[in-house]
Amino acid sequence: MFGYYLDLALRSLKRSRGLTALMVLSIGLGVASCMTTLAVFRAASGDPIPWKSSRLFVPQMGIWQESARNADGEPLDALTYTDAMALMRDHRAARQSAIYAIAPAVFPARSGQHPSTVGGYAVYGEFFRMLDVPFLYGQGWTSQEDAAAAPVVVLSRALNLKAFGGIDSVGRMLDVSGHDYRVVGVTDDWNPQPVFYDVFGSGGFTPEGPGLFMPFTRAIAAKLSNGRTACDKEPTQPGFAGLKQSDCVWITFVAQLDSAAAARAYRRYLDDYAGEQRRAGRFGGKPNNRLRDLPAFLDAEHVVPGDTKVMLLVALGLLVVCLVNTVGLLLAKFLRRSAEIGVRRALGAPRGAIHAQFLTEAGVIGLAGGTLGLGLTWLGMIEIRLVLPPRLAALAQLDGSLLLATMATAVLCTVLAGLYPSFRAARVQPAWQLKSS
Amino acid sequence: MTLHPILVALRRHKAGVVLIALQIALTLAIVCNAVFIIGQRVERIGRPTGLHEKDLFMVEQTWVGAPSGDDPASIEKLDALQRADLATLRRLPGVVSVAAANTLPLTNNSWGGGVSLKPNQQNATTRSVFYFGDEQLLPTLGLKLIAGRAFNAGDIVHQGFRDTRTPPIVIVSKPLADSLFPHGDALGKTVYFDGSRATTIIGIVARLQSSSTSSWSSGFDYNSAIEPVRLDAYFSRYVVRTRPGREQAVMAAARDALYAANPMRVISDDPGDDNGIRSFAQIRDQAYRADKGMAILMGVICLILLGVTAAGIVGLTSFWVGQRHRQIGVRRALGARKIDILHYFQIENGLIAGAGVLLGVLLALGLNQWLMSHYEMTRMPLPYLLTGVLAMLALGQAAVFVPARRASNVPPVVATRSV
């Protein structure tokens, strides 16, 4: 029976080519615009570490006077050096790391090349295990090396390729900012997006992953400059020493808390710590602490650019209009064949059969629209690179799930759009149609 | 022609009428808001910086193995390095002038803070971005001084970039001067940066846009202060003005000249946004790429929407014309002229589109309201809505014309056939 309906559908579609093309085009365009913007949105709002994000927490403390705070009442998304060090010292989480962005100059092993700056992070040794950073060779450094501010580095696969030609470089020396550092590990490609461990500095997305990591303590000892700094009042002393003592924030922090009880305990600890600092006169304003897990933190930070949401919304609107359009056209198309329906009904076809016939026809249009939509989505993914900032556009990928979603959306939407017209078609009175023709 | 027969006929096609009206309403709502977004972005992109942007480029470089800049001796060393670079750039053929600067408009590297009228004021009077540069900065950028005087070489000090001192004199942009001193008497007045750093306004430039294009500086987009300071840091930035048409040639020569003078540095050769040497045209392009992209995307979606809606009207009206073939013949046989039939369909479409537009206006306002509450969006001005309404009505009339003319061409003889 399905084969027969399919045959009927194809015949009918062939009969009115213009109308069919119009419907296919409208479904294709609607679905493609939706899928293209959805790909961008999905990439921007994805969970960067889904298997662990609910156990990773970001402590935040409001430390400035009310007048210097954000209008939305959110505390800062970074810590001062003093507070970050206090949290590291007390070490109340299973794993934790203070983090700051560095961009030291790395000297090429071969002479004759200019040195280049390599973006990376100063972190604690626990960082790698906490965030499941994949290693090609070696591993992170030990807590002893943290304590000793040891001159060790972990390189990215890309930097290892550039500096050492991609060999197992563990134990080799690398000149970073004019000092020798011993390579202890090489990570595999690792660049989770959004950059959840440094939303403060990165703003959420970076096209390239970190090139190197070194011990936090070492970077501080070497006075390696940080990226972004936010201050309420200027530091009272100049230089790096002044920055360390100031109430400027520039250090991000991630803590791993494995249970709800641990999170509660940590929250209590954070409140106690902030209360103590407030009594000592270091913190101003009302208590304003947060301890959110990663998904909640990223949401509160508004990491997903507003533009991508508006784009998705407008594209969804376009799809709705395309669907309304298809409903209208299908209605016209189906009712035009009232005479044919009348004959079929008079010959004994039940209403269900008419339903099935027209829904099959809608499905065929959906399939055709979906196929066109696939092509247009592919085009859209190329075009979106021209209109989006590269750091976002690079994230949007055309993968299997998106292809499947395109096809499924097209067929599902068209069949949905065909429901009312086929319902109307099935209610055609056979007697009337036979009489008048 | 009275409306009554049209309304009666419409009642027999409720579903089709509702669908067209709904489609017109949704299209109007989305297109109005999308065009409004486009308008906002175009306006944003077109904002002047206050700079003479042609023949201007910026060099960004990082020292390698340079002193930390924490103590006076190392600051002197950094400053000597910087002065050597300025001299190197000045010697290049085709260069008109060179200045040291901490940042430029649209680069999104910002120094900023509160500006107050009294020391240690609880809430700052206004906020501003801070530019630091030498006496060459004003002429190199091509800023227009409208009051007071520019810096001369004797005014310029140099200090570490984490130094908190403020020099005794400052030049401000007119919008900053106006928001501090609304009566226009800013010249010679003392103001306080970040609560406590006192300084006196000695000059006012007509316009200098903020270095930030992000939402952080919205509300004080043109509040800028220029301090006569050469900042000494692990990096430095230089602005170079070239003779007309020599920009590309000088940009190419600058990299080699700087490396030749001192190889212990990094000038990024990233092919994209992070290149160490960028013309101001590139800087502008990068700063507004997202806005341009958003505008283009909205434009494309609008075109698709209008096309789909017009095609939908053509399709459904064609169906109705086919359905009423015989009735049209009867009317023609009873004396209706071609023009009457044409008008019939035009009025019918006008009625449906009118209803759709009414609903669409409500939807457009609702969508605008929703966008305002969730995203950075302002209230849509009425002209956008009115233009949208007129455009939708015109679109309906244009779309209905072809099927309506076909209807008017139905010969009266149809009435006598096949009854």
DSSP per-residue string spanning B229-259? EEEESSEEEEEEEESTT-HHHHHHHHHHHHH
CA A200 to chain centre: 16
Q: Which residues of A are less than 8 Å from B71 in CB distance?
A: 239
Structure tokens at A94: 């299973």
User: Do the Cβ atoms of B375 and B34 come closer than 8 Å?
Assistant: no
**Region of residue B152 (phi > 0: left; psi between -120 and 50: alpha; otherwise: beta):** beta
Most confident segment among A184-198, A279-293, A299-313, A334-348? A184-198
Q: Is B178 exposed, middle or buried (0-12, 13-18, 19+ CB in 10 A)?
A: middle
What is the structure's pLDDT at A67? Answer: 65
pLDDT at A388 over 80: no
pLDDT at A110 over 70: no
- Contact residues for A336 (Cβ-Cβ < 8 A; gap 6+): B319, B322, B323
What is the structure's pLDDT at A137? Answer: 93
**Average of per-residue pLDDT values in chain A:** 86
Instruction: Tell me how many degrees the CA angle A400-A402-A403 measures, rounded to the nearest 5.
Output: 65
- Kindly identify which residue of chain A lies nearest to residue B311, measuring between CA atoms: A22
Best CA proximity match to B240, nearest among B344, B360, B86: B86
pLDDT at B57 over 90: yes
DSSP three-state, residue B345 = helix
pLDDT at A72 over 80: no
Q: Which residues of A are less than 8 Å from B325 in CB distance?
A: none
pLDDT at B189 over 50: yes
Question: Picking from B59-63, B216-220, B361-365, B368-372, which range would have the lowest pLDDT averaged per residue?
Answer: B216-220
What tens digit of pLDDT does each residue of B301-352 get? 999 999 999 988 888 888 888 888 888 888 888 888 889 889 989 999 999 9
Q: Which residues of B are less than 8 Å from A233 in CB distance?
A: 194-195
Residue B375 touches chain A, beta carbons under 8 Å? yes
Q: What is the ipTM of this complex?
A: 0.83
Asked whether the beta carbons of residue A22 and residue B311 sit closer than 8 angstroms, the reply is yes
Alpha-carbon distance of B203 to B194, in angstroms, equals 20
**Region of residue A330 (phi > 0: left; psi between -120 and 50: alpha; otherwise: beta):** alpha
Indicate the residue of A225, A236, A306 with minimum beta-carbon distance to B376: A306
Indicate the residue of B26, B297, B305 with minimum beta-carbon distance to A311: B297
CB atoms within 10 A of CB B362: 12
- Is the previous residue joined to A115 through a cis bond, with omega within 30 degrees of 0? no
pLDDT at A367 over 60: yes
Residues 237-276 (B) with a CB less than 8 A from some CB of A = 259, 263-268, 272-273
Q: What is the pTM assigned to this prediction?
A: 0.83
**Average of per-residue pLDDT values in chain B:** 89
Estimate the share of chain A in helix, then strand, then coil, as percent rounded to the nearest 5: 55, 15, 30
Best CA proximity match to B18, nearest among B351, B341, B330: B351
pLDDT at B373 over 90: no
What is the structure's pLDDT at B160? Answer: 84
- Kindly identify which residue of chain A lies nearest to residue B323, measuring between CA atoms: A336
Structure tokens at B297: 């995307």
Q: Is A278 exposed, middle or buried (0-12, 13-18, 19+ CB in 10 A)?
A: middle
pLDDT at A404 over 80: yes
Asked whether the beta carbons of residue B122 and residue A67 sit closer than 8 angstroms, the reply is yes
Alpha-carbon distance of B180 to B191, in angstroms, equals 9
Calculate how close chain A gets to B90, using CA atoms only, in Å: 23
DSSP assignments along A286-343, one per residue: S--EEEEEHHHHHHHTT-S-HHHHHHHHHHHHHHHHHHHHHHHHHHHHHHHTHHHHHH
Alpha-carbon distance of A207 to B412, in angstroms, equals 70
Rounded to an integer, the average pLDDT of A166-186 is 90
Q: Which of A176, A325, A379, A392 has the most B C-beta neighbours within 10 Å, making it the best mutation to test the interface with B? A: A325
User: Do the Cβ atoms of B180 and B191 come closer than 8 Å?
Assistant: yes
Most confident segment among A83-97, A291-305, A323-337, B63-77? A83-97
pLDDT at A424 over 70: yes
What tens digit of pLDDT does each residue of B196-253 get? 788 999 999 999 999 988 777 777 889 999 999 999 988 899 999 999 999 999 999 9
Question: Picking from B41-50, B82-91, B316-325, which range would have the lowest pLDDT averaged per residue?
Answer: B316-325
Rounded to an integer, the average pLDDT of A339-353 is 86
Higher-confidence position of A249 and B6: A249
pLDDT at A109 over 70: no
Where does A62-172 show beta strands of DSSP type E? Answer: 95-102, 105-106, 116-117, 120-123, 135-138, 152-155
What residue has token string 């003479």?
B52
Asked whether the beta carbons of residue A115 and residue B311 sit closer than 8 angstroms, the reply is no
Rounded to an integer, the average pLDDT of B51-67 is 89
**What's phi and psi for A347, nearest 5 deg?**
-85, 5
Instruction: Indicate the domain borders of chain A.
Output: 2-46+305-436, 63-287
- Give, in order, the Cα–Cα distances in Å from A143 to each of A88, A137, A154, B46, B251: 12, 19, 15, 54, 47
What is the structure's pLDDT at B419? Answer: 44
Rounded to an integer, the average pLDDT of A252-257 is 94
